[in-house]
Amino acid sequence: MITFVLGGSGSGKSEFAERLAREAPGKIIYLATADAADAEMASRIALHKSRRPASWDTWEGGVETLPRAARKLAGDYDLLLIDSLTTYISALFVSSRASEDDDETAWAEPAEKILKGVSEIFTGFAETVRDTPKRLIVVSDEVGCGVVPAYRMGRRFRDIQGRANQTAAALSDEAVLVAAGIPLWLKTGIIETESGCA
């Protein structure tokens, strides 16, 4: 079972994903993709860490190894929670970036590399845990509902993130949009609990 949790900044998507994970049985690992590059991000990471149960394990490897890690860890844990797909994509985006003046064709190859990585996370997990009750929850940002970025780099990132979200949703068993802390189920699984999640 793969659950894709989507939402805007400050929507409550991470808290919702964590709640789903806390309700699940078995061993849980949190795959953290953010890098504490500045004080603001370090503060956000600290907040996320403070909410996690002490019983959860944490993976903080490099983003390039995330698809491989998701496949490997699926053998050792009952539930994997990746937070977030956006910071994973952002790191790949920055490492692949061309100059601000490059035309759109210069971004075709980096975009495909990013989308391939996203697909590998989902398909690799699914292939590894086929016919088992294991679960993957992936958190991502909805970037298509805000102001159009003023800079070309921002618009490129928004478009790649949007395509990656479409890929992730298509490969998931469930997809939920969190708005103002309220889950709006876009694609549902087979079994529902009191919280509305499988």
Q: Which residues contact 186 (CB under 8 A, 6 or more apart)?
A: 6, 169, 175, 176, 177
Which candidate in 19, 22, 27, 48 is catalytic?
48
**Using one digit for the tens of pLDDT, what is the confidence trace for 1-18?**
999 999 998 999 999 999
The CATH classification number of 2-187 equals 3.40.50.300
Torsion of CA 1, 143, 118, 25, to 10 degrees: -30
Q: What is the pLDDT of residues 85-99, one digit of tens each?
A: 999 998 888 887 655
First to last CA, the chain: 9
18 pairs with which residues across the strands? none
User: Six-digit token pair at 97?
Assistant: 């970036």
The 10 Å Cβ neighbour count of residue 72 is 13
Residues 6+ apart with CB under 8 A from 37: none
Handedness of CA 69, 84, 147, 96 (dihedral sign): negative
Which phi and psi angles does 178 have, rounded to 5°?
-100, 125
Give the model's pLDDT for residue 96. 76
Q: Is 66 an active-site residue?
A: no
In the prediction, which pLDDT does 126 show? 95
| Cα–Cα distance, 69 to 144 (Å, whole number) | 29
The segments of the chain whose pLDDT lies below 50 read: 191-198
Which sequence spans correspond to the domains of the chain? Answer: 2-187
